[in-house]
Each structure stands twice: as C-alpha cells, then as structure tokens.
Amino acid sequence: MKNIVILISGRGSNMEALVAARDAGTLPVNIAAVISNRPAAQGLETAEKAGITAHYIDHKAFAERDAFDAALAECIDGFAPDLVVLAGFMRILSDGFVRHYAGRLMNIHPSLLPAFPGLHTHRRALEEGVRIHGCTVHFVTPALDHGPVIIQAAVPVLDSDDEVTLAARVLRQEHRIYAQAVRWFAEGRLRLDDGRVRLAGEPADGAVLVSPEVC
C-alpha cells in the first residue's frame, strides 16, 4: 500500500475528505502523517482525532524559505512517502523542494487552471463574470499553481452567487476529485507523458470530471 503525507495550513477539509475515503475503503493508502506550517491549524486536531500522526513546523521560526523547506523535507522524508499531498498548504515551495518530490507532489487549486492561479479565486471568478468555475488537481512544478493537470471538476456560477456560496460549491467538488486523483496514483494508473498526465485503463476523457450540477 502506498504511503502518503498530507500538508495543510488551516481548516483541513480536503485532508478530512481523504481520511474519510480511506476509512470508507475507497482510498487504499496509508496516511503516514499530516504536517502543518501553522501550529494553530484546525486540521491538526482533526488528524489527531482520526489517530493520524500530526506535526507542525512553524515557518515563522525560519528566517529563510530554503531553511524552512529543508526542515519540512526532512520531516516528510522521515515517513518515506510515495506521494506528498498539498491540501490547502498555503506556502510557496522552493524549486529545490519541488524538484526533490518531482512526480510525487500533488496540489489542489480552487479554480479551473490555468485560469485564476494564486489567491482569491472565487472573488476573481465573480468579478470576471465567468459562467463556469471549478477546481483542479495537478502535479506540482516550480511555477505557482501550474503543472500537469490530473483531474478537474466544473461547477456553474449562478447569478445569485457570492464568494461564500461559490466557494462552498467548489469545495464539495474538491473533496470529490482529490480522493479520485490520489486513488489513481495509489493504483499506479497515472503516467506523465511529455508534461501531460495519462490515465491507464480508461479513455483519455476519463480524467475530466464535470459535476452533475452542470450536466
């Protein structure tokens, strides 16, 4: 069974969704540890309650980004993960860190990348007046919110939406597609081919999931 380490910074609902999928028997992975860069992250308590080893490494204790990244990598590598899952981890990672985990570092981003990289994605989607918004799971490369797309989910943007309602609609899909992406990894079905993700055993469009809300 594959070993995974989950990195969080706050609430940890994506982490919780992965734990729930594991507990339901639909995600055959060992969640070796949950690590936060913020001591007060709510998700640390959730992980502990689920019986998962939970650590924090406070980025504020490090003067340099590289020093924090080195300490984080040392902690992660102590758990020998096959995959490192960024689940609401709100730190930019150095190129060296990303290279060290090339092909085994995943992120979830609350937009349909390459639209709206960075922060405040829901507000920006509303400001731009897009009719479709969503979320993306991708392998991490040194460029922020960039890298080979594994799966995306789309949701409609309603006239009645504000940032809160739109974020909630997207978050429900995040929880769904992150478990799916990690499951594919655990099953050994993801392959990188010339910078694009291929999914073994299903047609090419099997990697794109459009939520029933827009079907």
Residues near ligand GRF, by CB under 6 A:
8, 10-14, 87-88, 108-110, 171, 174
Cβ 12 to ligand GRF, closest distance in Å? 5
Cβ 5 to ligand GRF, closest distance in Å? 15
- 12 versus 147: smaller Cβ distance to ligand GRF: 12
- 67 versus 168: smaller Cβ distance to ligand GRF: 168
Cβ 38 to ligand GRF, closest distance in Å? 11
C-alpha distances in Å from residue 102, one per residue of 6, 71, 127, 143, 148:
16, 18, 35, 13, 11
Catalytic status, residue 109: yes
Q: 55, 59, 100, 109: which is the annotated catalytic residue?
A: 109
Cβ 114 to ligand GRF, closest distance in Å? 15
- 58 versus 77: smaller Cβ distance to ligand GRF: 58
What burial class does residue 194 get, using C-beta atoms within 10 Å of its C-beta: 0-12 exposed, 13-18 middle, 19+ buried?
Answer: exposed
- 70 versus 151: smaller Cβ distance to ligand GRF: 151
**Cα–Cα dist 134/18, whole Å:** 19
**Cα–Cα dist 145/168, whole Å:** 20
Q: How open is the CA angle 140-54-46, to the nearest 5 degrees?
A: 95
Q: Which parts of 24-113 fold into alpha helices (H)?
A: 42-49, 65-77, 95-100
Report, as residue numbers or ranges, the catalytic residues. Answer: 109
